[in-house]
Structure 1
Amino acid sequence: MKKLQFNITINAPCMKLCKFLKILSLFIFPLTVLAQTDNSELQKMYNEDQSSRMVKNINWSVLSKQDKEREKRVYEMINSEQIITGKDYYNSAMIFQHDNDTIASSMAVKHMKKAIELDSTINKWLLAAAIDRDLMRQKKPQIYGTQYVMNNGETKWKRYDIDSTQVTDEQRKFYKVETLAEQILKERNMNLTPISEFHSKSSSINQTIKFIKSEHKKGLKSAYNTSENELNGFAYELLKAKKENDALEIFILNTKLYPNQFNTFDSLGECLLLLGKKEESLNAYKKALKLNPKNENARKIIESQK
């Protein structure tokens, strides 16, 4: 049997095209490597970490055990190279943040630095908080002022010792941390009676709204916390209790009491979207983005609704 022979002649233009495609692949390949998706299991762990801290009367012994289990799983993910994206490093940093030893606190700092290196849009507050907590775990003064403690036998929160000379207020603002003056006010607010306590007695959202307005007018003379963060947290408590319409009323009130704070409109947008009020939700998100053009959450949601 004769063997068939094929003679293939590649002309010059074809050779040039092949060379071009080969060079092009060198540029495309790294992009495919970089196009990694966030670790969904780690995101779920982060969500559990956060939601477990948004309930009343936390059982700290149970929560501590859960924190340890999450931390153990994060180490397994590190060993199997499953932590890749900036969001992954952010989520793992938060889990490390909630352990109580210096190994975990140093890992939180390390992972937050990597998170910001990979994604400059990530919330930088956690890096300042991780640095402060790492210093606190080493029994050194914090430098940003993110850590507040309640020692055994005490009933009031206080800001943990701080070396205020190491960081300027401008640097604090860059990391989304309150200024030194704002931290004094924050400490006061933390020791005020939460609005949820009044609401548990009145059980009427209209009475609670009326009470919030009257307490807010008292300013520093108020015995209740009517800060933006307190009202926002209270509204989310109502959402979790399946009282969506009551939550909406508080979110709306918060935008009226704090009309220049982007987060009040961002949270309002989230609630409206949950209730199926898409047009009103978009308006709230647009307002949030106008107040803070760096609000990527609002930007993404607005884009997704087009």
Structure 2
Amino acid sequence: MNKIYISLILLLTMISSGFAQTNPELQKMADADQQDRFSGENWDTVMKNDSIRLAKATKLFKEGELNTAKDYYNAGIIFQHGNDTIASKMAVESFKTAIEMDSTLNRWWYAAAVDRDLMRRGEPQIYGTQYIVDGSGKQKQYKMDTTQVTDKERTYYQVPTLAQQKENEKMFDLKSIGSFYVETNSIEKTIDLIKSEFKKGKESDYYITEKGINDFGYQLMWKNKLEESLKVLKLNTELYPKAANTWDSYGEILLKLDQKEAAIKAYKKSLALDPNNENAINIIAEHK
């Protein structure tokens, strides 16, 4: 067989198998976007940084520099923090493309982008991801058309069902773990708070749900406080041992700390609880 023909086949095979590399500039910008939001940075500075990232991401998009699913995913994160419907539409298209290329990515972003785009156009959201602050300073869900998508679709896009959303609204008056951490500047005191408030159950004054603790763990992760994040995410597996997501998140922080053997055990535990966890399947396969 012709050597050139063989080389062409190998090239096409590598490309189709994901040989293309994630754009490092987009990855860096997407990481900075999230870090800005968890760092306590002045909001005017965040908005200025958003506009710079949006201009750069748009240029990369127009120049055809987005090749992988992660590229489109990272671009979507940047586009959705633009201030107009042009940016929000690009966010929807980017997340849609990313998920079509790799369904293991966080599908919630697509639902949130759709809802945010509808909200900017003055139309009701359809998944239920967007909240606004009312006149009294409290959060409430933005107006919603519940007829456009089913709860099955919401679940696929990692959005709570309508019933779960109503239950979640009751949590808005609860205090956040993050606020206590900021006030005390002590991870030890915060861990003790989580444990004591967890014992109170529905009488707790803080948002001590699996998601609430998980979100706090990720806030610490984004601030590069990895050892503190590890303590929080490990505690979450102890408080919610039957939740696949707590073990998945615990595995992620262990990988970041280069504790690969412990990380794989955590991902295997997550997979045992949720056999459809494609993220765990892929990571376990990568580290065989």
Q: Tell me the TM-score normalised to structure 2 length.
A: 0.86
Provide the residue aligned with 1:63 in structure 2. Answer: 46
1:219 corresponds to which of 201, 208, 219: 201
C-alpha distance in 2 between matches for 1:49 and 1:197: 21
- Matched residue, 2:86: 103
Partner of 1:84 in structure 2? Answer: 67
Q: Which amino acid aligns with 2:39?
A: V
RMSD of aligned alpha carbons: 2.7
Matches for 1:252-263 after TM superposition, within 5 Å: 252-263=234-245
8 A contact 1:209–1:250 mirrored in 2: yes
How many pairs were matched up?
A: 286
Counterpart residue number, 2:145:
163
In structure 1, what is the Cα distance between the partners aligned to 2:90 and 2:176? 34
Contact 2:34–2:222 (CA<8 Å) still a contact in 1? no
Q: Where does 1:20-99 land on structure 2 (aligned, <5 Å)? A: 27-28=9-10, 30-34=12-16, 35-56=19-40, 58-99=41-82
CA deviation after TM superposition for structure 1 residue 131, in Å? 1.0
Instruction: Report the counterpart of residue 248 of structure 2 in structure 1.
Output: 266
Match for 2:175: what amino acid? Answer: T
1:178-257 equivalence runs, <5 A: 178-200=160-182, 205-238=187-220, 244-257=226-239
C-alpha contact (below 8 Å) 2:270/2:280 kept by paired residues: yes
Q: Is it true that 1:116 corresponds to 2:103 in the alignment? A: no
CA distance in 2, matches of 1:163, 1:199: 37
Taking the aligned partners of 2:144 and 2:193, their CA distance within structure 1 comes to 36
Question: What is the CA-CA distance between 1:296 and the residue it aligns to?
Answer: 4.2
Using the alignment, how far apart are the partners of 1:132 and 1:273 within structure 2?
33
Shift of 1:66: 1.0
SS in structure 1 of the partner of residue 38 of structure 2: coil
% same residue: 47
Distance in 2 of aligned mates of 1:301 and 1:43: 19
In the TM superposition, 1:3-22 aligns within 5 A as 17-18=1-2
Shift in Å, 1:175: 0.9
> Which moves more between the two structures, 66-75 or 280-289?
280-289
Could you tell me which runs of 5 or more consecutive residues in structure 1 were left unpaired when the two chains were aligned.
1-16
> What is the identity, as a one-letter code, of the residue corresponding to 1:65?
K
TM-superposition CA deviations, 1:168-195 (whole Å, max 9, x none): 1111001111111221233333442112
Distance 1:275-1:95 versus aligned 2 partners, 3 A rule = closer
Give, in angstroms, the shift of residue 146 of structure 1: 0.7
Q: Give the secondary structure class of the aligned counterpart of 1:193.
A: coil
Structure 2 unaligned blocks of 5 or more? none
Is 115-124 or 78-87 further displaced after alignment?
115-124
Q: In 1, are the aligned partners of 2:245 and 2:270 still within 8 Å (CA)?
A: yes
Report the AA paired with residue 20 of structure 2: Q
Contact 1:77–1:83 under 8 Å retained in 2: yes
* CA-CA distance at 1:47 after TM superposition: 0.8
Letter in 1 for 2:248: D
Alpha-carbon separation, structure 2, partners of 1:259 and 1:127: 28
Select the residue among 126, 143, 146 that pairs with 2:126: 143
Larger Rg: 1
User: How far did 1:51 drift?
Assistant: 1.2
Contact 1:189/1:227 (<8 A) preserved? no
Which residue does the alignment assign to 2:116? 133
